[in-house]
């Protein structure tokens, strides 16, 4: 049997109800799906975090081989920080944000770049890397990962920095610049440990030479 045998038509959603409705939504599903050895599974109950889709933008300065990062507090990282004192709940990340109504991914990337890092990026300098499901065992979230070509230096030739974010959303964001080489070292040391940033850096390590060649 092929690994891509089954499709959406091989799942029966028997019932669905909303368990929680707030900033996010949690829905409870009762469903069955086909089995590889024939027939259907028993009725499964699954609570799904309906978080919505998100955009992640990796700002890369090809000429200087630098990346722009944002660092901010993440409540979801508290448990790990409580268990391991070497871990911090302030995470080194790429720019990211959720969709507003009637926005497309490029619009989100441009908006979030300005809000989180005071970067003005033209749509022509944004290109898709991939889409992926962040944690499909429990959430519907689909991540749109993009590359954004930027200049990481200010008018004086110094790495840009600053404090940004929307106060009304409780954001307190530090912007910093790191070379690609140093970022890979931090990744290897476990200092960068959130999925979108890890995936983006791994993609960049495979593709940076082609990006640099195009700029020559």
CB 152 within 8 A of CB 146: no
- Cα separation, 216 vs 205, whole angstroms: 18
Helix (H), strand (E) at residue 210 = helix 195-215
Q: What is the biggest distance separating any 2 CA atoms in the chain, rounded to whole angstroms?
A: 68
Q: Which residues are annotated as catalytic?
A: 169
Q: Are strands 25-33 and 44-50 parallel, antiparallel or unpaired?
A: antiparallel
- Cα separation, 200 vs 103, whole angstroms: 23
Q: In the chain, which ranges are E strands?
A: 11-21, 25-33, 44-50, 54-61, 66-73, 90-93, 95-98, 126-133, 142-149, 162-164, 173-179
- Cα separation, 49 vs 212, whole angstroms: 40
Q: Give the SS3 label for residue 85.
A: coil
């Amino acid at each position: 049997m092929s690994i891509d045998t089954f499709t959406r038509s091989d799942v029966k959603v028997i019932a669905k109800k909303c368990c929680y409705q707030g900033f996010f939504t949690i829905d409870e599903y009762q469903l069955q799906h086909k089995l590889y050895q024939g027939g259907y599974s028993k009725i499964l109950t699954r609570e799904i975090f309906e978080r919505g889709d998100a955009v992640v933008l990796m700002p890369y300065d090809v000429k200087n081989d630098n990346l722009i990062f944002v660092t901010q507090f993440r409540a979801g990282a508290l448990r790990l920080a409580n268990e391991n004192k070497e871990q911090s709940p302030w995470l080194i990340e790429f720019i990211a944000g959720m969709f507003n109504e009637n926005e497309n991914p490029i619009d989100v990337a441009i908006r979030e770049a300005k809000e989180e890092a005071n970067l003005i990026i033209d749509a022509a300098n944004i290109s898709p890397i991939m889409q992926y499901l962040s944690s499909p065992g429990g959430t519907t979230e689909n991540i749109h990962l993009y590359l954004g070509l930027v200049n990481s230096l200010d008018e004086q030739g110094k790495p840009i920095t600053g404090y940004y974010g929307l106060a009304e959303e409780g954001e307190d964001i530090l912007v910093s610049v790191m070379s690609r080489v140093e970022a890979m070292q931090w990744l290897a040391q476990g200092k960068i440990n959130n999925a979108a940033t890890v995936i983006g850096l791994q993609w960049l390590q495979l593709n940076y030479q082609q990006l640099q060649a195009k700029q020559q």
